[in-house]
Amino acid sequence: MASAAEGLFGILSEKIGATEDSLRLIASLFLGYPLAFIYRQLLFGKRPEIQHIYFSLTGLALCYFNFGGDLIHSVINILAIYILLVICGGTTFSVAAAFLINTGYLCFGYDAIGSADQYDIKWTTPHCVLTLRLIAVVVDVYDGQKNPDSLTPDQKSTALKKNPSLLEMFGQVYFFGGFLVGPQFSMKRYQDFVNGVFADKVTKGPPVSSVGAGLSRLGLGLLVVFLYQIGAIFIRQSYLLSDDFQKLGFFSKCLFILFWGKLNIHKYVSAWLISEGSAIVTGLTYNGQDKNGNELWDGCTNVRLWTFETGSSFGDIIESFNRNTNLWMAKYVFKRLKFLGSKELSQAITLFYLALWHGLHSGYYMNFFLEFVMVNGEKQLQALIQRRPYLSSIVSNPTIQLMLWVVKSVTVHFSVSYALISFCLLRYDRWWHVYSSVYFIGHVVYFLWPFVHLLLQRLLPKSSHKQQLEQQPAVLTKKES
């Protein structure tokens, strides 16, 4: 048997310095485009069962191309959840069991694969997507059995009145535009898609505008890939662990971490953009029309690049990066923990589950622990300013705003890069080594902030109720014009 290095992808991996697994993944994302155009030309509007078979077979083929016989894991997981729905779908027990079965199987995969010095693309990569998708189906069936008046608007939009068929579940999970790296989308969206709800309103065929929107997303993804490859020539992750990095001064180390983090995070961005583009071409991502009547294709957007690049708060980053996963965690975990009576506790549990979903390495837990303290620190600072209108008037000054935007942007993006060190280096000894070389600056700042916050609350007087009213903008009454 020929070795992997003798194969096409083995040769390419040696030539360009990328792993064979990553090349196969990228090739699979690009294959989504011819598969999308074949679907538009031959299968759009056909019986749903035919579409399910097409998505199932093409997705299974891509899975085998990437992971070989390990595709059996996704098949077993889907069958297990289908049986769960048949036996007790719509019950509280089914929801708890879905979380345990899916998350447990994923953790079994992490443990079976074993530890590595860096993230490897294995069958657990698409299984992360599958895990959330199957849990969502079970929860949506549960919501569908409840009184609609008791559901929130976002729960109503995805609630399922009956169990999906096994063929529907295979089609949704293996849909080529979202199987490998996302985006996440609900079973309800998938059902509407295959039933023609998103078809062109005039021709009843595949929507024309989705092609341009999807190819634009592809072009943006290719641009990000190009810029990432150029940057990777000069900024390498291995440099963080080198003796040369240790010899740098403190500020030079922080500057390198800032640019390394910004660069490294774009490899995820590029994969999401390319994958989303093929989903757009099929028409799956329809999201209504704007005020001018133009069709919107951002129903499964996983990254809002402009907001991510120009954001100056952790809220901007969370809202624009890995959006579908963040929205999923908010909908299926955070909001479901409302009974705890504490947003902070709900947030902590959600972030712990998010870390567990990523893997068993200590670096994931440190990353999301840092996210917890950073996000809550920002909220405390914002509340401190909002409750003191005289401070609000200062920071709203146009001249001050520009300077603050620069300071906030650098602080936020450095903080994200700082947290990313543990996320990417994974092992305790590796990320501890880098953090210690910069004196744990991020930990120190955000761990000391609660004490600084208490001090500022005492030193900065609040405005009286009368002063607050005087500083509020005037509001027109009904009699005023």
Which residues participate in catalysis according to the annotation? 322, 358
Is the peptide bond prior to 183 cis by the omega test (within 30 degrees of 0)?
yes
Bridge partners, 289 (sequence order): 295
Q: Are 124 and 179 in contact (CB under 8 A)?
A: no
Instruction: Look up residue 295 and give its DSSP letter.
Output: B
DSSP sequence for 423-451: HHH-SHHHHHHHHHHTTTHHHHHHHHHHH
Instruction: Look up residue 461 and give its DSSP letter.
Output: P
For 80, the token pair is 């297990």
C-alpha R_g of the chain: 24
Measured from the Cβ of residue 159, the count of other Cβ atoms closer than 10 Å reads: 19
In degrees rounded to 5, what are phi and psi of residue 436? Answer: -65, -30
In degrees rounded to 5, what are phi and psi of residue 299? Answer: -70, -15
Q: Are 264 and 258 in contact (CB under 8 A)?
A: no
Euclidean distance between the first and the last CA atom of the chain, given in angstroms as a whole number: 83
One-letter amino acid at 103 equals T
d(CA 44, CA 204): 10
